[in-house]
Structure 1
């Protein structure tokens, strides 16, 4: 949170683990309360996600895999649960646990009931059921769904969401991005509802199908998009604060690295850090720059 504070961030987006809650709800609650208290001390509000629609099955091998080459996100809950309504009672208990504790918590910016249900009907059915369940028990904290794209975002409008989200991580040009942001502002004005860009990264000056991606292209480059987003005025969350392998396994296998800060507080790029800091005021970032892959990432780069 101290690193986030150094970038003048006033909000941070993360989500929970249904599997970790099932193992030990009491410890899970203490950890989450500590997280929210720490964020609050830094003047940072939290966009808190409940379920996750991206990744791999939440089997033990995937849940505990910390290898930067193979470890990645997991569905939460698993596919077999999401596809079968007769197994939704336990996820509903988790959703109720979150809602009862935090529905009126001013430290939360919003509750994201699920990240990226996407286009698969069985995921959307599960997400809709969980959203309706939370909505029936809601308090003052706004409710939302994480959408894979601007086109996908409007699918959730008639669910009764309070905030529209969309993700656009790797555009090919700033002109394309400028057009999407203009659409976001037009939608916000037409429906009188907040529209947030909750995942963005950099201009992709490479093709996802090309075999070779240079080391420079694999690293972060937030400065390539930050000025366009700032000028648009769209509320936004970049991906991600800490340097780590790409969230998506397909990108991770190609050696894509995301983030701003090394664990010791140095930044990958002072240009990036300054561009991010400028989103909310003074854009001059003073700190140590080190464009060096962390030790845990070097093997990923070598294999890619």
Structure 2
């Protein structure tokens, strides 16, 4: 067990002055390549415990479930050969109880290490419900994809600059607590920061949200870097026509993501030819690539076709999601408009395992295991 900082010392560290510029410099391409060369081929899932409807329920003290985590991460490694998981945190958990959150993250890391898994933690997220509230979370809406996932921060907290001190304390506190912890793979600072919400939340954004994120995101990279993490920092691009360096269509948020990330991460739920095209754009940045969201069977992003390409190209792959459960992402995105209350989807949209640990398709589990242990140059061309 880690030796915990006293609450006073932790508070002092959280509000410490900004480090000198030399301490907050992005990794060079050579440094990023050297880090990536030391990793196994990175393969895993976006993970929330099957009984948690969102990241609050997963990490709040009343519902944090080490038994479920141990069971499900065991399935990930044993059945799929996974060595990482992308795991979401929430700023309200830090506001509620900083030391308690750090201890629960440490417990999670201890369990993950037991199963050979080094997670990538996500600090902020712009997807789904923009009004998160601590405490008991509502139960899943029948037949609806991700019906209880929440944004971090809330839309009202986001647009108020008075909350920047809290955001900074959260970033520096969490990253600082684990900045030299070999059990942590990487830090994903903001998931889809330019997402307008998704589902039935597309018209719920407040005026100025995108401008605030464009202002905050570079600061968040600086705050995280001020803790001198030994792990890479990133934020993944996911929309737009061209992610090549200097592309005229890049927004200020996308430029920050691509110009500040130590390793380049991205999302792609498209068919193989579109996946290859995105990879070709991102290769021009000269940094390691990790796809932190993929697998949408109904949209053409399938294990059988996408995973071998990524293995051959040495691209890390973290699909959405893992165990069928309260987030209900076996249902497609359009279930927000047409809930699957009378029938199951003909083909699952996301997820790899049924709630009892049985693979949705045994062939998918076999392919994950096989590619996880296959040298890159031994993967056959498609």
TM-score (norm 1): 0.76
For residue 319 of structure 2, give the secondary structure of its aligned residue in structure 1.
Answer: coil
Do residues 259 (structure 1) and 359 (structure 2) align? Answer: no
Question: Which piece of structure 1 moves more, 157-166 or 269-278?
Answer: 157-166
Aligned to 2:329: 246
Measured against aligned partners, the alpha-carbon deviations of 1:228-280 in whole angstroms (never above 9, x if no partner) come to: 32233211111111124239994442446421112221111112222222331
5+ long unaligned stretches in structure 2 = 1-72, 196-209, 244-249, 341-347, 375-382
User: Partners of 2:94 and 2:254 in 1: how far apart?
Assistant: 31
Alpha-carbon distance in structure 1 between the residues aligned to 2:332 and 2:134: 15
Find the counterpart in structure 1 of residue 221 from structure 2. 131
Structure-to-structure mapping, 1:1-304, within 5 angstroms: 1-6=73-78, 7-60=80-133, 64-69=137-142, 71-118=147-194, 120-149=210-239, 151=243, 155-156=255-256, 159-169=259-269, 171=270, 173-184=271-282, 186-187=283-284, 191=286, 193-205=287-299, 221-244=302-325, 245-246=328-329, 250-253=333-336, 254=338, 255=340, 257-281=349-373
What is the DSSP-based 3-state SS (H/G/I as helix, E as strand, rest coil) of the residue aligned with 2:214?
A: helix
Provide the rounded CA distance (Å) in 1 between the counterparts of 2:139 and 2:81. 30
Partner-residue secondary structure (3-state), 1:126 = helix
1:60-83: CA deviation from partner (whole Å, max 9, x where unpaired):
399712214463321111112222
Task: Tell me the matched-pair count.
Answer: 263
Q: Deviations over 1:194-247 (max 9, x none)?
A: 2211111035458xxxxxxxxxxxxx9532422232233211111111124239
Structure 1 residues 75 and 278 mapped into 2: Cα distance closer, same or farther (>3 Å)? same
TM-score, normalised relative to structure 2:
0.62
Q: In 2, distance between residues paired with 1:98 and 1:134?
A: 9
For residue 90 of structure 1, report the CA deviation from its aligned partner.
1.1
Asked if the contact 2:235/2:261 (under 8 Å) is kept, the reply is yes
Contact 2:237–2:257 (8 Å) recurs in 1: no
Preserved CA contact (<8 Å) 1:45 1:109: yes
- Please report how far the alpha carbon of residue 124 of structure 1 lies from its aligned counterpart in structure 2 after TM superposition: 2.5
Richer in strand (by share): 1
State the superposition RMSD in angstroms. 2.8
Q: Which has the higher contact order (CA 8 A, sep 6+)?
A: 2
Q: Is the 8 A contact 2:123 2:189 kept in 1?
A: yes
More displaced stretch, 86-95 vs 68-77: 68-77
Conserved in 1, the CA contact under 8 Å of 2:102 and 2:177? no
Q: How far apart are residue 59 of structure 1 and its match? A: 3.6
Q: Secondary structure at the match of 1:3?
A: helix
Q: Show structure 1 runs of 5+ residues with no match.
A: 207-219, 283-304
**CA distance 1:57–1:157, shift in 2 (3 Å):** closer
